[in-house]
């Protein structure tokens, strides 16, 4: 998915003069268009695999054509339907909490801090986990949520529970554990863009609000949040496309047999059937499904935003 | 205007950089494409794209050829290039192999990724993924080299070699395990069993444990009498690994408890020897009784609360602590902890595990131990077409079976790692044994090449065992005192003796798992096999942890039958008929 921002205002007439004035930008853009064609469009040719019984030996052009058989297999497989549900729900949870609500709240709170040093320190600490790889994050989670881990130990010492809770054997908790993992890892990082949006709000607005008698809360409600609105909408729209990219590593590393009915995502499904079982065609078919749905989600959301007169992508 | 030039210069630089990146990537994708689409698949185009892994092209004589090898099993890396025995072997053969091991994936995933990536090692043991490599035309046919190199030719009989032939009539890999030269000396039980710590048996004066019920009864009584270990850890009477493909630890016991040998995926009922029948061990009465027993023991707190969610690493570290009393597992899956016990002194406290040949009822024959060699034709070591010097590689594989190199690999350096007595028998001093078990010494000194051709049995000199742990004198000396006491108490001298499986010739179709391991989603049976696995993965721990066993067992059976196991069983029956020549 490529995100393109038009340099010129919408609906403006493009004249030679404008083209000449923007020649450097256009030349730069061409490089990226070529990049896009090579790395995003040409590989789409591989989609043929989904309609044939692909074997590495016979290759893309020699394999037997089977039409929609692979898609039929997918949609008659109960597991695949489960997998779509899991991916969508975990994606949605990720979109709502770790990518949108919490970073906004965090950015606003951080912005309200008076001490500049403290603010810097908190911000740096909060986005450091972003640079850890998932294998480390899941390792920490696995240890701390195990029966003899720190979480159970604290809960037991506080007398809240008697027997340790087996977090990873409870299907109901899995999505929330994944959501929490994302929150811990990505919240600080995701807040950066909101922080910068906040810092670009015209200070005059705050002054005017103060004169009108707004307190801290009033300023957040009537100045900060409305000014953030375009940023929030654009980011929300862009992230919508990633809903089905709910993740692979987290679920793969944290999952186990007991919770597999809620832990497997489309990517894991592709791995088990496509790579391990050597059925590349089936894997490709599942991948196509994912891409098509993602594009649809973006188009629909964009249309909705357009209708309601909000900021939009295209 | 000046501004314009500066911009243009910047633009030029940027596009140059982007272009060079594109060019570099283009090269690589070209290499990949060459492999995945070329029908003839000589892989020559890939060699140029992926030459980084291998040590270079054909080596002039006198120089060491550095090869890479991937093994689709977890293992310990040695200090490549600084390992004493690796260097000695390189001096003799002119070849040095850097081994890399499976980490955090299944074998099939790892092999699938290697095929898709286009970057290949020079040698591979891809476990269950060998057929995938063959399908992708990445393996060199062995036929000519087998004829050329006598050690390889003699490694298997012509009939045995034939079993490795693929559908195009050629041989592409060779299994390196369970191959006995000379007299068999087997002292270990490298198979599955219910294991129990020697001290638990000692505590109850070495009782005769024959059934599952007796086994858990002993664990319960011991744990009640000894709730904590000497160093204050809570005792875990029984644990059970369910991690990924290793869930066989919970899954396949019913087949053994019914007294059948390890056909792996099915039971072969041979009451009518001319008409053997495939039986599904997942749905037998024994299966239900076994899981019900686990369910009861779980409710009593005898089974590790975390058994279903522990990873393999967590499992191994738990076993190494010495507070787990028993489990069901394959010996090779946990054998590394024996070295740990030796280092930490827990072996002298009786923490080592001994195998028991349990059955579901008293008085049944058991077949946990497989006597004789099991030929697994579904996996082994293969040479990739991208290997820079295929000729020299086979020469090297041949040399692996030379007695002096074999001794270097498994016994070590004479004088440093073992001594020879007046009769020419090899032996080790206690210090040598201790050093041999030390992981840091293993990394800098030992080089076993454990997935390259090797023998069990007796050495060319007719006296010594090929593997030190199979040297009869050495074997017993090497055991910790509690193990020696245990063996003496039961009046046995080896691990298989502890199990007491009945001795019989393996059936001609044995083992059936060499077929089911290679099933693919091409056939309905292969699809069913994968889905059955997924269902069992979820439901087996669930029924063990269930608070209402009967209703959950019924639900499990519904989910299981929904995967069409009959498709799978039919294909197994076909293969069975084929193997007995029907």
Q: Which residue has the higher pLDDT, B555 or B44?
A: B555
Helix, strand, coil distribution of chain B in percent, nearest 5: 45, 10, 40
CA distance B445 to chain A (A): 31
Structure tokens at B245: 């493909």
**What pTM, to 2 d.p., does this model score?**
0.81
* Geometric angle at alpha carbon B580, from B577 and B582, rounded to 5°: 55
Q: Which of B144, B37, B119, B151 is nearest to B384 (CA)?
A: B119
Q: Which residue has the higher pLDDT, B393 or B470?
A: B393
* Domain B192-368+505-579 class, CATH top level: alpha beta
Instruction: Please write the tens of the pLDDT for every residue from B78-95.
Output: 998 889 999 999 999 999
Tokens 């339907």 belong to which residue?
Answer: A81
Mean per-residue pLDDT over chain B, rounded: 86
Helix (H, G, I), strand (E, B) or coil at B547: coil
Q: Provide ipTM, 2 decimals.
A: 0.81
B307, closest residue in chain A (CA to CA): A169
pLDDT recorded at residue B60: 53
On whether any CB of chain B is under 8 Å from the CB of A133, the answer is no
CA distance B538 to chain A (A): 4
pLDDT recorded at residue A63: 85
Measured N-to-C along each axis, helices A280-307 and A225-240 cross at an angle, to the nearest 10 degrees, of 150
Do the first three CATH levels of B53-183+375-457 and B192-368+505-579 match, i.e. the same topology? yes
CA distance A47 to chain B (A): 15
Cβ contacts of residue B581 below 8 Å, gap of 6+? none
Q: Do A135 and B104 touch (CB under 8 A)?
A: yes
pLDDT confidence band for B17 (50 / 70 / 90): very low
- How far CA B109 is from CA of A250, A278, B119, B196, B538, in Å, comes to 17, 9, 15, 33, 20
Residue B499 has pLDDT above 60, yes or no: yes
Most B CBs within 10 Å, among A32, A174, A249, A275, to test the B interface: A275
> In the beta sheet, which residues pair with residue B277?
B269
Tokens 């245990």 belong to which residue?
Answer: B486
Cβ contacts of residue A205 below 8 Å, gap of 6+? A223, A227
Q: Do B109 and A276 touch (CB under 8 A)?
A: yes
CB A21 within 8 A of CB B4: no
Segment B156-184 mean pLDDT = 89
pLDDT recorded at residue A10: 54
Q: Do B540 and A257 touch (CB under 8 A)?
A: yes
Most B CBs within 10 Å, among A257, A261, A274, to test the B interface: A257
Give chain B positions within 8 Å (CB) of A28. Answer: 11, 14
CA distance A169 to chain B (A): 6
Give chain B positions within 8 Å (CB) of A166. Answer: 305-306, 308-309
Instruction: Please write the tens of the pLDDT for every residue from A187-242.
Output: 999 999 999 999 999 999 999 999 999 899 999 999 999 999 999 988 998 898 88
pLDDT recorded at residue B52: 37
CA dihedral over A176, A181, A182, A186, signed as positive or negative: positive
- Annotation: CATH topology of A68-307: MetI-like fold (1.10.3720)
On whether any CB of chain B is under 8 Å from the CB of A61, the answer is yes
Alpha-carbon distance A108 to A224, whole Å? 8
Q: Do B537 and A260 touch (CB under 8 A)?
A: yes
Instruction: Please write the tens of the pLDDT for every residue from A32-78.
Output: 999 999 999 999 988 998 999 888 777 788 888 998 999 999 999 88
Q: Do B305 and A61 touch (CB under 8 A)?
A: no
Lowest-confidence pick of A78-82, A302-306, B143-147, B381-385: A302-306
pLDDT confidence band for B41 (50 / 70 / 90): very low
CB B252 within 8 A of CB B282: no
Instruction: Please write the tens of the pLDDT for every residue from B256-307.
Output: 999 999 998 999 998 888 889 999 999 999 999 999 999 999 999 999 999 9
A147, closest residue in chain B (CA to CA): B306
Give the number of A-B residue pairs with CB atoms closer than 8 Å.
108
Residue A271 has pLDDT above 70, yes or no: yes
Alpha-carbon distance B376 to A233, whole Å? 60
Segment A147-171 mean pLDDT = 91
Cβ contacts of residue A269 below 8 Å, gap of 6+? A79, A80, A83, A286
Per-residue DSSP letter, B65: E
Return the number of other C-beta atoms located less than 10 Å from residue B101's C-beta. Answer: 15
Task: Indicate the residue of A147, A164, A261 with minimum beta-carbon distance to B538.
Answer: A261
Give chain B positions within 8 Å (CB) of A24. Answer: 7-8, 11
CB B456 within 8 A of CB B178: yes
CATH 1.10.3720.10, chain A: domain bounds: 68-307
Most A CBs within 10 Å, among B27, B39, B234, B521, to test the A interface: B521
Mean per-residue pLDDT over chain A, rounded: 89
CA–centroid distance for B546 within its chain: 31
Most B CBs within 10 Å, among A136, A162, A278, A286, to test the B interface: A278
Task: Indicate the residue of B7, B308, B520 with minimum beta-carbon distance to A278.
Answer: B520
CB B398 within 8 A of CB B151: yes
Q: Do A79 and B531 touch (CB under 8 A)?
A: yes
Give chain B positions within 8 Å (CB) of A34. Answer: 22
pLDDT recorded at residue B235: 95
Secondary structure of B118-156 in the HEC alphabet? CCCCCEEECHHHHHHHHHCCCECCCHHHHHHCHHHHHHC
Helix (H, G, I), strand (E, B) or coil at A314: coil
Residue B1 has pLDDT above 60, yes or no: no
pLDDT recorded at residue B23: 41
A268, closest residue in chain B (CA to CA): B109
pLDDT confidence band for B27 (50 / 70 / 90): very low
Task: Give the highest mean pLDDT range of B114-128, B417-431, B545-559.
Answer: B545-559
Give chain A positions within 8 Å (CB) of B306. Answer: 146-147, 166
> What CATH homologous superfamily does B53-183+375-457 map to?
Periplasmic binding protein-like II (3.40.190.10)
- Tell me the domain boundaries of chain B: 53-183+375-457, 192-368+505-579
On whether any CB of chain B is under 8 Å from the CB of A196, the answer is no
């Amino acid at each position: 998915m490529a995100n393109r921002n038009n340099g010129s205002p919408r609906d403006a007439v493009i004249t030679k003069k404008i083209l000449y004035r923007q020649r450097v930008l256009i030349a730069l853009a061409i490089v990226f268009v070529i990049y896009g064609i090579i790395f995003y469009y040409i590989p789409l040719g591989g989609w043929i695999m989904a309609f044939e019984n692909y074997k590495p030996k016979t290759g893309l052009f020699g394999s037997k054509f089977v039409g929609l058989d692979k898609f039929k297999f997918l949609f008659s497989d109960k597991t695949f339907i489960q997998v779509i549900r899991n991916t969508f729900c975990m994606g949605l949870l990720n979109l709502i909490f770790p990518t949108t609500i919490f970073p906004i709240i965090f950015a606003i709170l951080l912005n309200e801090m008076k001490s500049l040093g403290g603010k810097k320190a908190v911000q740096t600490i909060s986005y450091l986990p972003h640079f850890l790889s998932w294998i480390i994050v899941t390792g920490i989670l696995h240890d701390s949520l195990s029966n003899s881990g720190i979480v159970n130990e604290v809960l037991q010492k506080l007398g809240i529970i008697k027997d340790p809770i087996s977090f990873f054997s409870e299907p109901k908790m899995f999505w929330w554990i994944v959501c929490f993992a994302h929150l811990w890892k990505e919240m600080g990082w995701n807040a950066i863009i909101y922080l910068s949006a906040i810092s670009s709000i015209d200070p005059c607005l705050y002054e005017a609000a103060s004169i009108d008698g707004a307190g801290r809360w009033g300023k957040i409600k009537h100045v900060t949040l409305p000014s953030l609105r375009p940023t929030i909408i654009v980011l929300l729209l862009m992230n919508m496309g990633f809903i089905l990219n709910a993740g692979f590593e987290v679920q793969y590393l944290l999952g186990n047999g007991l919770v597999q009915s809620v832990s497997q995502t489309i990517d894991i499904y592709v791995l088990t059937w496509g790579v391990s079982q050597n059925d590349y065609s089936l894997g490709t078919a599942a991948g196509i499904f994912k891409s098509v749905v993602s594009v649809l989600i973006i188009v629909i959301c964009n249309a909705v935003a357009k209708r309601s007169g909000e900021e939009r992508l295209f | 205007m000046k501004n314009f030039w500066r911009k243009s210069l910047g633009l030029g630089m940027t596009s140059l950089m982007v272009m060079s990146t594109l060019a570099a990537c283009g090269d690589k994708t070209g290499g990949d494409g060459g492999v995945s689409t070329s029908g003839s698949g000589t892989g020559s185009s890939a060699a140029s794209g992926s030459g980084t892994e291998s040590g270079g092209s054909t080596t002039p004589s006198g120089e060491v050829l550095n090869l890479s090898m991937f093994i689709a099993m977890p293992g310990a890396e040695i200090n490549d290039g600084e390992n004493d025995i690796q260097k000695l072997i390189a001096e003799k053969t002119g070849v040095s192999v850097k081994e890399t091991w499976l980490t955090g994936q299944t074998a099939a995933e790892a092999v699938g990724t290697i095929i898709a990536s286009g970057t290949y090692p020079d040698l591979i043991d891809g476990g269950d993924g060998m057929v995938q490599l063959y399908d992708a035309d990445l393996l060199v046919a062995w036929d000519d080299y087998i004829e050329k190199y006598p050690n390889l030719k003699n490694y298997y009989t012509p009939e045995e070699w034939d079993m490795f032939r693929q559908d195009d009539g050629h041989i592409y890999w060779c299994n390196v395990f369970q191959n006995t030269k000379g007299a068999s000396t087997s002292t270990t039980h490298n198979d599955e069993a219910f294991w129990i710590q020697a001290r638990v048996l000692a505590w109850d004066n070495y009782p005769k444990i024959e059934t599952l019920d007796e086994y858990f009864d002993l664990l319960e009584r011991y744990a009640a009498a000894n709730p904590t270990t000497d160093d204050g850890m809570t005792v875990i009477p029984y644990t059970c690994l369910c991690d990924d493909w290793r869930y066989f630890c919970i899954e396949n016991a019913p087949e053994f408890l019914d007294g059948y040998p390890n056909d792996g995926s099915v039971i072969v009922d041979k009451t009518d020897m001319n008409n053997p029948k495939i039986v599904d061990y997942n749905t037998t009465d024994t299966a239900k009784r076994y899981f019900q027993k686990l369910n009861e023991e779980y409710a009593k707190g005898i089974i590790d609360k975390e058994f279903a969610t522990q990873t393999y690493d967590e499992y191994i570290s738990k076993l190494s602590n010495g507070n787990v009393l028993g489990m069901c597992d394959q010996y090779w899956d946990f054998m590394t902890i024996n070295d740990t016990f030796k280092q930490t002194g827990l072996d002298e406290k009786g923490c080592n595990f001994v195998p028991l040949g349990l059955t579901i009822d008293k008085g049944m024959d058991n077949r946990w131990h497989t006597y004789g060699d099991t030929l697994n034709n579904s996996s082994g070591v293969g040479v990739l077409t991208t290997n820079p010097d295929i000729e020299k590689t086979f020469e090297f594989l041949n040399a692996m079976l030379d007695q002096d190199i074999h001794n270097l690999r498994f016994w070590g350096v004479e004088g440093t790692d073992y001594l020879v007595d007046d009769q020419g028998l090899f032996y080790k001093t206690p210090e040598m044994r201790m050093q041999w078990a030390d992981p840091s010494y293993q990394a800098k000194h030992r080089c076993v090449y454990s997935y390259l051709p090797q023998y069990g049995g007796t050495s060319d000199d007719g006296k010594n065992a090929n593997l030190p742990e199979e040297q009869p004198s050495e074997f017993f000396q090497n055991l910790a005192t509690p193990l020696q006491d245990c063996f003496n108490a039961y009046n046995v001298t080896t691990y298989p003796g502890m199990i007491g499986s009945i001795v019989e010739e393996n059936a001609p179709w044995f083992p059936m798992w060499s077929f089911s391991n290679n099933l693919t989603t091409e056939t309905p049976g292969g699809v069913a096999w994968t889905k059955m696995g997924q269902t069992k993965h979820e439901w087996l721990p669930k029924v063990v942890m269930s608070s209402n066993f009967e209703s959950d067992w019924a639900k499990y059976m519904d989910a299981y039958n929904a995967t069409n196991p009959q498709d799978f069983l039919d294909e197994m029956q076909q293969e069975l008929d084929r193997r007995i020549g029907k």
